Every structure is written in C-alpha cells, then in structure tokens.
Amino acid sequence: MLPPFYELVDAYWRDVARLCLALAGPDDGEDAAQRAWLNALRAYPSLKHDRNLKGWLLTVAARAAMDGHRDRARRPVPMADPPERAAGSMPGDPSELPGDEIWTLVAELPERERIAVGLRYALDQPHAEIAAAIGVSEAMSRRLVSDGLAKLRVALGRTEEKDEDE
C-alpha cells in the first residue's frame, strides 16, 4: 500500500531539490524540482507498488530536469553584448573557473552521463540506484559516471588526475 504523498515530500524533498539543482543549474533547478513534484503527484495514484519510492522520485526529478534542459535549449537567450570568446570555449587555466561553473560543464554532458554524474556526486547515490534511475545495468552506470568525469577533466584541463571513486 502506498503511503500518503505528503510523507514522500517530507522524506525526500531535499534529495529532489539537490538533484534538480545539480542537473538543471541554479537558474532552472527550482523550477525543475517543482515540475518534478507536480509530475510525481499526477503519477502517484497509478503506481502499482511501493517498492523503491525514492528511486522512482529521483527518476521523475531527473526527467523533469532533462525536460527543462531541452526546453532551455530551444529558448532564445537575449544578450545585450555578444560574449568575448566563442560559446563553449573554456579558459586555459582551471583556476579561472568559479566553483559553480563545474555544474555548467556538467550541464553540457550528454543526457545519461549528466544524470549519472548528478546522482553520484550531488546525491551520493550508489551505482545500483543510479542504474535503476537511468534504466541501465550497474556496470553501465559506472561507465556513464566514468565517461562523464573524463569529459569534465578534459574540459578543465586535468587529464592526468584520476578520481578515486570510479
């Protein structure tokens, strides 16, 4: 039997908010979290079982963030002045990057890698839960996190460093 929806909100609102902020960024993260909760509320009555509700919620949140990412890609961005460097170009020295820019780089990763990295490092989820949220095997979830980290290292100019958690 499913618990009342408000119990899920009380138990997991921080996890959903953190995941959405990590995947959608500070500008759109709150909107993605709100969309996730609305989508979850709409789908909740049709759930057949109460197994792994946290995983289900995180999957709904990841998909809401993906939808926001797709919507943002289609939306024109007004600019007062054109940027000084080409879009997507990175500064040569990683120390020039402010701390929040790492999530900007994460947002540029392919969809499944972005979700895997977000779940692993924003919510400290084990690979089994990442695999369930994305719908892949545990080995594939490890590969997605590893590939995402490798791309982030290249973008940051840190190709020789290795992460201990891979």
Q: pLDDT digit string (tens) for 109-159? A: 898 998 898 888 888 889 999 998 888 999 999 999 999 999 988 888 875
59 located within any domain:
yes
80 located within any domain:
no
82 located within any domain:
no
Q: Give the position of tokens 């095997």.
A: 137
CATH number at 22 reads 1.20.140
87 located within any domain:
no
Q: Can you give the residue range of the structural domain that contains 132? A: 5-75+93-156
Tell me how many domains the chain contains: 1
Q: How far apart (Å, rounded) are the C-alpha atoms in residues 16 and 61?
A: 6
Neighbour tally for 141: CB within 10 Å: 26
Q: What is the distance, to the nearest Å, from the Cα of residue 108 to the centroid of all Cα atoms in its chain?
A: 11
43 located within any domain:
yes
84 located within any domain:
no
pTM: 0.55
Q: CA-based angle 164:155:68, to the nearest 5?
A: 95
Q: DSSP letter for 109, please.
A: S
